[in-house]
């Protein structure tokens, strides 16, 4: 792919320089901008660190610019589909809110789900939906948004609610044969899909059960919310939106398309169209309000509907907290995420093109002496790749490619590698603020990545569980060297 006209690959200590620059720069950005660190400062930090990697490699190792250009272009090309999906998720989030779909889910959900089991139920609901759909992103952008609202009505910290949502969604994503990451991890390590899923149960199920216990205990210890708070939310929603069970046809139709394995872009586009039709029928007064008109006619309806897809919608319910909850930014709200993804892809391309990522990984591989260190090294590489490349798909492919021969030479089954990759690259992507997954879920749920990170129990436990099971040697078969 890239030219080999280089004097030598940078030493791993030299390869650490761009990463150290990035960490220092990000620390300064967070101190200077606080909660607004991802509004542009972090993106500049990634670009600056990429510049350092390029400068060091070109000056000291004579690596030609063409190699960096090819690597960066390849990285950006690989995220093209994700960018389109992100924009469509923004359209779905806006239209599902304005049409009353999400408010209806919040209204009935607050009456059905008791606070004493809320986080437990949230994690379970998201896991089941994600298994059926094979998509953590779709689960979080639809049901997850509604559950954030229910949690707020019941007085739960948004970080805990987001942690339960993400834990359930990523468990289901890992275990679903419909998941693109599951298929990618099995195929890139040359493991049959269902062998891969079956083998993951050994580490994934214990991690999930421990997470569920934590969420149940926290829910049981949660103080009973004031009845008035839940009532205020419910009344505010009912007075603002036309709440109706018929609106649930939109998620039902969307779910049907997902189960029929309709491509994600077509499904999300259709979900936005379904919600737009529902908004015209059930919430014409809100479309008129968004458009700034006194009544609904063709032009106000057209303007209000398009704005719910692409722009900010501020609907007054008479409750300040509820206003913040139901406000949306549509496609435009995803532009900072797109900016971040491109910046992360640029940094990842610079690290790959310079050979620095390979150098750092080789240093990790050199520490491998046995089964435990091999799995631990794979897990560390998966997490490290998520931090460097900013994309879970690239991390899965990269980690699988780097370790495939090592596992084979040492007599271990390929499914051990595919499981290690999923236990690291797949589940930790959402914990990194500048990763496409972390930024996306923070934007959709309106909870900063670092705010929900401590509560994503499943995502935090999974890498450690992978290493623990490797140490125990349970179900791990080794052939001859």
Q: Count the domains in the chain.
A: 1
Measured distance CA(443)–CA(109) in Å, rounded? 22
Range of the domain at 214: 81-329
**For residue 246, how many other CB atoms are within 10 A of its CB?**
13
Q: Which two tokens stand for residue 479?
A: 């052939």
Backbone angles phi, psi at 4, to 5 degrees: -110, 15
Residue 76, domain member (yes or no): no
* Alpha-helical segments (H) within 334-413: 335-354, 356-365, 371-389, 392-409
Residue 264, domain member (yes or no): yes
Residue 220, domain member (yes or no): yes
Residue 473, domain member (yes or no): no
Residue 403, domain member (yes or no): no
Q: What's the pLDDT score for residue 226?
A: 56
pTM for the predicted model, two decimal places: 0.77
> Which tens digit of pLDDT belongs to each residue from 34-84?
767 767 888 898 899 999 999 999 999 989 999 999 998 988 887 777 788
**For residue 81, how many other CB atoms are within 10 A of its CB?**
14
**For residue 164, how many other CB atoms are within 10 A of its CB?**
35
- For 166-221, give the DSSP string: HHHHHHHHHH-TT-HHHHHHHHHTT--HHHHHHHHHHHHHHHHHHHHHHHHHHHHH
Q: Which two tokens stand for residue 115?
A: 């606070």
Q: Give yes or no for residue 115 having a pLDDT over 70.
A: yes
Nearest to 177 by CA among 185, 167, 165: 185
Nearest to 328 by CA among 434, 235, 446: 446
> Which tens digit of pLDDT belongs to each residue from 412-470?
888 999 999 999 999 999 999 888 889 889 988 989 999 999 999 999 999 999 999 99
Dihedral over alpha carbons 341, 345, 346, 351 (to 10 degrees):
140
Residue 434, domain member (yes or no): no
Residue 119, domain member (yes or no): yes
Confidence of residue 114 (pLDDT cuts 50, 70, 90): confident
Burial of 80 (C-beta count, 10 Å sphere; 0-12/13-18/19+): exposed
Q: Which two tokens stand for residue 460?
A: 């935090």
* Alpha-helical segments (H) within 241-263: 249-259
Residue 192, domain member (yes or no): yes
């Amino acid at each position: 792919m890239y030219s080999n006209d280089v004097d030598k690959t940078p030493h791993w200590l030299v390869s650490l320089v761009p990463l150290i620059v990035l960490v220092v720069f990000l620390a300064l950005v967070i101190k200077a901008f606080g909660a607004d660190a991802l509004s542009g400062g972090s993106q500049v930090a990634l670009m600056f660190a990429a510049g350092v990697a390029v400068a060091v490699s070109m000056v000291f190792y004579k690596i030609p610019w063409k190699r960096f250009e090819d690597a960066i272009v390849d990285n950006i090309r690989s995220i093209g589909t994700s960018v389109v999906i992100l924009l469509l998720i923004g359209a779905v989030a806006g239209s599902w809110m304005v049409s009353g779909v999400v408010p209806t889910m919040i209204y009935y959900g607050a009456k059905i789900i008791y606070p004493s089991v809320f986080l437990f139920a949230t994690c379970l609901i998201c896991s089941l939906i994600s298994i059926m759909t094979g998509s953590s992103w779709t689960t979080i952008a639809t049901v997850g948004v509604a559950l954030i609202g229910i949690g707020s009505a019941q007085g739960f910290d948004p970080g805990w609610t987001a942690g339960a949502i993400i834990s359930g969604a990523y468990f289901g994503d890992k275990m679903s044969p419909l998941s693109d990451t599951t298929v990618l991890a099995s195929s890139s390590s040359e493991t049959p899909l269902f062998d891969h899923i079956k083998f993951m149960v050994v580490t994934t199920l214990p991690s999930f059960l421990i997470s569920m216990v934590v969420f149940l205990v926290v829910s049981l210890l949660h103080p009973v919310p004031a009845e008035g708070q839940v009532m205020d939310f419910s009344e505010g929603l009912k007075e603002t939106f036309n709440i109706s069970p018929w609106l649930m046809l939109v998620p039902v139709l969307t779910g049907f398309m997902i189960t029929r394995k309709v491509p994600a872009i077509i499904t999300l586009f259709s979900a936005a169209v379904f919600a737009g039709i529902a908004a015209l029928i059930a919430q014409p007064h809100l479309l008129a309000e968004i458009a700034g008109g006194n009544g609904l006619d063709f032009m106000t309806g057209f303007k209000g509907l398009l704005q719910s897809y692409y722009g900010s919608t501020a609907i007054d319910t008479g409750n300040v907290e509820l206003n913040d909850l139901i406000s949306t930014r549509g496609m435009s709200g995803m532009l900072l995420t797109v900016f971040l993804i491109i910046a992360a892809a640029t940094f990842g391309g610079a690290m790959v093109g310079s050979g620095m990522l390979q150098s750092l990984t080789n240093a990790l591989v050199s520490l491998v002496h046995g089964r435990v260190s091999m799995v631990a090294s794979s897990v560390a590489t998966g997490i490290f790749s998520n931090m460097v490349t900013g994309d879970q798909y690239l991390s899965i492919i990269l980690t699988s490619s780097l370790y495939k021969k090592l596992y084979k030479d040492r007599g271990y089954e390929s499914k051990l590698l595919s499981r290690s990759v999923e236990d690291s690259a797949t589940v930790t992507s959402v914990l990194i603020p500048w990763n496409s997954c972390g930024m996306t879920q923070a934007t959709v749920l309106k909870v900063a990545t670092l705010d929900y990170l401590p509560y994503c129990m499943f995502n935090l436990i999974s890498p450690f569980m992978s290493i623990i099971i490797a140490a125990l040697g349970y179900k791990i078969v080794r052939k001859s060297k």
